[in-house]
């Protein structure tokens, strides 16, 4: 017979919640237009977790999704969240990193390379 241990149950619930949260972040946006706003059916698909708290990674949410752009598929075909803020930050920061590297890091290295032997000589 099954013996339900509340601690085990809580652990399983947490694992299931974490997996579901990540799954929904990875399957959120329309693969055609990138929109997160679409119509979807709400059938619950069972997530299998074994006695060692390991999630069955082959889990597939097969709810039907219809996007405003006309795309139709299942939740599993949706793509991860596209983080515009992170992309913008990267675009803004990358020239700053290049400039920093060219005009600060490299000259510093050259100056250090020239100065170090002089300092070493003056110490002797
Ligand atoms: Zn779409």
Domain for residue 1, yes or no? Answer: no
Ligand 1 mean position, distance from CA 60 (Å): 20
What whole-number percentage of the chain has pLDDT above 70?
Answer: 94
pLDDT digits (tens, 9 = 90+) for 4-53: 788 888 988 999 999 999 999 899 999 999 899 999 998 888 889 888 88
Measured in whole angstroms, the distance separating CA 59 from the mean position of its chain's CA atoms is: 18
Q: Please say whether the beta carbons of 61 and 23 come within 8 A.
A: yes
**Is the pLDDT score of 1 beyond 60?**
no
Ligand 1 mean position, distance from CA 27 (Å): 13
Domain for residue 92, yes or no? Answer: yes
Q: In the chain, how many domains are there? A: 2
Residues 40 and 94 in one domain: no
Residues 88 and 120 in one domain: yes
CA distance 62 to 22: 16
Ligand 1 mean position, distance from CA 22 (Å): 21
**Is the pLDDT score of 2 beyond 80?**
no
Q: Which of 4, 22, 27 is nearest to 77 (CA)?
A: 27
Residues 14 and 62 in one domain: yes
CA distance 94 to 100: 10
Q: Which pair of tokens denotes residue 120?
A: 């070493």
Residues 38 and 91 in one domain: no
Enclosing domain of residue 95? 83-124
CA distance 87 to 78: 20
CA–CA distances in Å: residue 45 to residues 5, 24, 48, 67 = 24, 13, 10, 21
Ligand 1 mean position, distance from CA 34 (Å): 6
Provide the pLDDT confidence category of residue 83 given band limits of 50, 70 and 90: low
What average pLDDT is seen over the chain?
88
* Predicted TM-score of the model (pTM): 0.59
Ligand 1 mean position, distance from CA 62 (Å): 17
Ligand 1 mean position, distance from CA 11 (Å): 37
Residues 14 and 39 in one domain: yes
Residues 58 and 41 in one domain: yes
Is residue 34 classed exposed, middle or buried when 0-12, 13-18 and 19+ CB atoms within 10 A define those classes?
middle
pLDDT score for 23: 93
> What average pLDDT does the segment 58-78 reach?
95
Provide the pLDDT confidence category of residue 71 given band limits of 50, 70 and 90: very high
pLDDT digits (tens, 9 = 90+) for 85-103: 677 788 888 888 889 888 9
Ligand 1 mean position, distance from CA 55 (Å): 30
């Amino acid at each position: 017979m099954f013996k339900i241990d509340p601690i085990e149950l809580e652990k399983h619930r947490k694992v299931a919640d974490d997996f579901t949260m990540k799954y929904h972040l990875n399957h959120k946006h329309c693969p055609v237009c990138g929109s997160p706003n679409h119509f979807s059916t709400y059938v619950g698909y069972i997530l299998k977790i074994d006695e060692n708290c390991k999630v069955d990674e082959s889990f597939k949410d097969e709810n039907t999704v219809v996007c405003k752009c006309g795309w139709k598929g299942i939740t599993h075909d949706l793509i991860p969240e596209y983080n515009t803020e992170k992309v913008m930050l990267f675009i803004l920061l990358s020239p700053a990193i290049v400039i920093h590297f060219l005009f600060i890091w490299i000259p510093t290295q050259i100056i250090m390379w020239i100065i170090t032997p002089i300092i070493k000589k003056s110490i002797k």
